[in-house]
Structure 1
Amino acid sequence: MGTLKTARHRRAAAALLLPVIIGMAGCAAEDKTPAGEAVYGRPLAEQFQAATDATRDAGTAAFSSTLTYGAAGGDAVDRTRGSLDYTRGTSFAKLGLDADRHFPAELREQLHASDPKAGEVLVTSGEDVYLRHGASSWLKFTPRAVNELGESTGVIAAHAAGDAAPYSGTLADLVPRLIPREKPERQADGSRVYQLTALPEVASELLPRDLQSLQNDWGLDPVDVTVRLDADGRLSSATADLGPVLDRLHARGELRPVKRLHAAFALSAFGEPVKSKGPSGGASVEDAAEVLAPVDTLKRGRCATTGDTGLGTTAVVRPVDCAKPHDLRVFGQVKVDRRLPGNQDIENGDPFARVACERKLAAAPEDWRRGGAYAEGFSFVGSSQVGSSFGGEAGAETTVTGTYTCYLRSA
């Protein structure tokens, strides 16, 4: 009897405990934080900043970024693919410009010149950016190199690690600067889609640097942006219709054959291992500050190349011995300093620089001037300022000042 009573007491105790245990399990299930709550539980205006933090917390991701120029003859796509390591603050990216066969050839060359990317590989590590063409050595652009070589290095330096990602210059940079005003649309998979707008001067930062200057263009329509966050609140994709920016470029006479301008960005493979593909081991690395130079620092007679700098400009070049293959040979530096009567419609000092360079060329050695290696003729690069003054004894006056480098182009 004693044993049977004890068993009954045990069953009764178990029966009493069971609802309590079930109740505790139910509370634990209710306390579990839903996916994405760290982002979607925040006020709407704070969700993009929280999403940027959540994306960074993933540790790693694969990314793609495109800028599509649509013309009547087809599209040209400025494409970047690579990986991001948020933990180490590094990235790896392959770059290229793909154009349809009937895309305007002249415009294709212009895009190559303004933002050269064919066959380039970029690796970022904090503020440092490494560039490589094919099997060439790595060219390292440090903050010191950027400071010494000048603004022409911006096409490379703009991709150094930023606040949003280890690779900058994409729509990912814009997302934390945007503030949602309307609730997103929730998708079946738990992701959210936001429709919002951006200032055109901000969106223009996605373009090559020589097309970005919209700071003083007031009254432009806003740029439509779509942002998708995944179920965990991480940035999944973003797109932007840059039509308003394109309208302003058309008004300035730029990119006129382009009818559509569209930017896109996407992330995937969150948390997956990222293999280091950058400079390591015995890979040759050159410091850009040591092997490149502003062309206006080259003395008369010096030669240089431009093809492996990644800058798409003759403002910064790689000096080489003239006995080796080269793109240009400097034959003089000139200054423009003109004062003209009246308020004249002058865009820059280039016409005056051309005349000054022609005079310099006339004094150059004959073997430089007569065909051969320099059959492509001469050109010049530099900058100028145009100003106007009114009143005074001389009355209205227009001033043109600038400095230029004159060089021969090799065949």
Structure 2
Amino acid sequence: MGTLRTARHRGAAVALLLPVIIGMAGCGTEVKAVAGKAVYGQPLAEQFRASTDATGDAGTAAFVSTLTYGAAGGDAVQEAKGSQDYERGTALAELGLRAGRHFPADALEFLRASHPDGKQTVATAGDDVYVRQGDSAWLKYTPEAVDELGEATGVIAAHAAGDVAPYSGTLADLVPRVIPREKPERREDGSRVYRLTVLPEVAAELLPRDLQSLQHDWGTDPAPLTVRLDADGRLAAATADLGPVLARLHEQKVLVEVKRLTASYRLGDFGKPVKPGGPDQGGRPVEDAREVLAPLASIKDGRCAGTGGTGLGGTAIVRPVDCADGHDLRVLAQVKVDRTLPGKQDIANGDVYARTACERALAAAPEDWKRGGAYADGYSLVGSSRVGSSFAMGGGGAETTVTGDYTCYLRTA
């Protein structure tokens, strides 16, 4: 009797629960339909903006963003892979540059000049960007640090959380700025694929900051863009052919061996827990970039600095250190060029005058900085100059002025 009674009670429980479960399933189906309608129910011109909202409403997502440089000998790929928390405005990503064995050496050297060696971890929290190399401390770039250290920090600052996503500098930033004109292709899974174009100056924003600075006129040839939204209207993938942008770089004799340039962006794992390991976890120390870094141009003659751990690559921003400690370079001299020449001269820049000053500084440097000492032979030179022409007062004819600031430095042997 007890067994029979239990069976009856279980049957009643199942009978009571069944309508509830069916009702919940019905609600879930309705929510999904509404989610898609929130995007696809909008006019075509407004669907990308609606998709941005739908993507953020997912709460979290995993992403992969790539920039691929294609050449006859293979590809080089700059990749950012990680997760984003739209509610908190945070992101965590691993950055890296990889290249095939036969990718052109000159092009790879150019790409590596502004890209830190090895894997790099970047985290964003609102306007702040954190960067870590290997097991190093987190280095925090606040907007104040970016203002103080200058445009060389742009390669890091570009990833700060924006209006579209917690990790910026990807195709996700471009999508809501483009207005679709033709109806998308609808796939069997309910996703939509849009094929359109984007202005070349907008497409160029996907380039690393050092490449962006090489060209100010990106022409008028549009860049093809493909965008895929999932069944719920969330951004799932985007690809762009940056061929028109590459063509303008070729005019500047940059990356001439690179024949293809494409960008891609993929999102997935919507709503799943994000990857742990940000600067607020793990107990790693956090340094303020303003306190530990400085522009190379501000380092006094004879002082030393390290170039690693800045997250920036290159030597524009360095970490000043005591010369008795480990370092990568020693400033030989800070050089100012200020020349006025008669007539209109055919001069491209002030480099030749800076080199003359550097050679004088090298000749006067202590002997242990030279051959057989702690530093390699010769010097390196970085800086910029301006060339202008004007007419002298009193009818003295044309004049050419050359002004600039340079840093001459020695590399450790």
Cα distance, 1:32–1:362 mapped onto 2, change above 3 Å: closer
The 8 Å contact of residues 61 and 271 in structure 2, kept in 1 or not, is answered as yes
Query: Secondary structure in 2 aligned to 1:47?
Result: helix
Alignment match, 1:369: 370
Residues 336 and 212 (structure 1), Cα distance of their counterparts in 2 relative to 1, 3 Å cut: same
Match of 1:319, SS state, is strand
Map 1:126-205 → 2, pairs under 5 A: 126-205=126-205
Deviation (angstroms), 1:41: 1.1
Q: Is the aligned partner of 1:115 residue 2:118?
A: no
Where does structure 1 lack aligned partners over 5 or more consecutive residues?
1-25
What is the deviation of 1:35? Answer: 4.3
- Larger CA deviation: 289-298 vs 234-243: 289-298
Contact 1:201 1:214 in 2 (8 A): no
User: Does residue 1:212 correspond to 2:224, yes or no?
Assistant: no
- CA shift, 1:218, in A, is 5.7
- Tell me which residue corresponds to 1:404: 406
Structure 2 counterpart SS, 1:46: helix
Structure 1 position 214, deviation (Å): 7.1
Amino acid at match of 1:395: G
> Relative to structure 1, is the Cα distance of residues 334 and 214 closer, same or farther in structure 2, using a 3 angstrom cutoff?
closer
Shift of 1:117: 6.1
- Asked if the contact 2:334/2:405 (under 8 Å) is kept, the reply is yes
* Distance of aligned partners of 1:120 and 1:403 in 2 relative to their CA distance in 1, 3 Å threshold: same
CA drift at 1:220: 3.1
Q: Which of these two proteins has the greater Rg computed from alpha carbons?
A: 1
Change (3 A) 1:177 1:362: same
Q: Unaligned regions of 5+ residues in structure 2, if any?
A: 1-25
Give runs of aligned pairs for residues 9-408 of structure 1, distance below 5 A: 33-116=33-116, 118-213=118-213, 216-217=216-217, 219-279=219-279, 280-390=281-391, 393-408=395-410
Shift of 1:34: 4.3
Which structure 1 residue ranges, 4+ long, deviate > 6 Å from structure 2? 29-32
What is the deviation of 1:32? 9.2
1:397 is displaced (CA, Å) by: 2.6
CA 216–285 in structure 1, closer or farther in 2 if over 3 Å, else same: closer
1:92 is paired with a residue whose SS is strand
Per the alignment, in what secondary structure is the counterpart of residue 174 of structure 2? helix
For 2:31 and 2:155, the matched residues in 1 are separated by: 49
TM-score (norm 2): 0.89
Q: Distance in 1 between matches of 2:386 and 2:310?
A: 27
More divergent stretch after superposition (318-327 vs 85-94): 318-327
Q: Which moved more, 1:366-375 or 1:211-220?
A: 211-220
Is the 8 Å Cα contact of residues 66 and 264 (structure 2) preserved in structure 1? Answer: yes
Instruction: After TM superposition, give the deviation of residue 78 of structure 1 in Å.
Output: 0.7
TM-score (normalizing by structure 1): 0.89
- Once residues 217 and 346 of structure 1 are traced to their aligned partners in structure 2, the CA distance between those partners, rounded to angstroms, is 23
Measured in 2, the distance between the counterparts of 1:275 and 1:266 equals 17
Q: Which amino acid aligns with 2:350?
A: G
- Distance verdict in 2 for CA 1:94–1:357, change over 3 Å: same
Deviates more, 1:295-304 or 1:379-388: 379-388
- For the 8 Å contact 2:137–2:287, the answer to whether it is kept is yes
Per-residue CA deviation, residues 144-171 of structure 1 (Å, 9 max, x unaligned), is: 1111111111111111101110001100
Paired residues in the alignment total 384
Equivalent pairs: percent with the same residue?
72
User: Relative to structure 2, which stretch is displaced further, 162-171 or 211-220?
Assistant: 211-220
Residue 224 of structure 2 aligns to a residue in which SS? strand
The offset of 1:356, in angstroms, is 1.2
Q: Distance in 2 between matches of 1:38 and 1:128?
A: 32
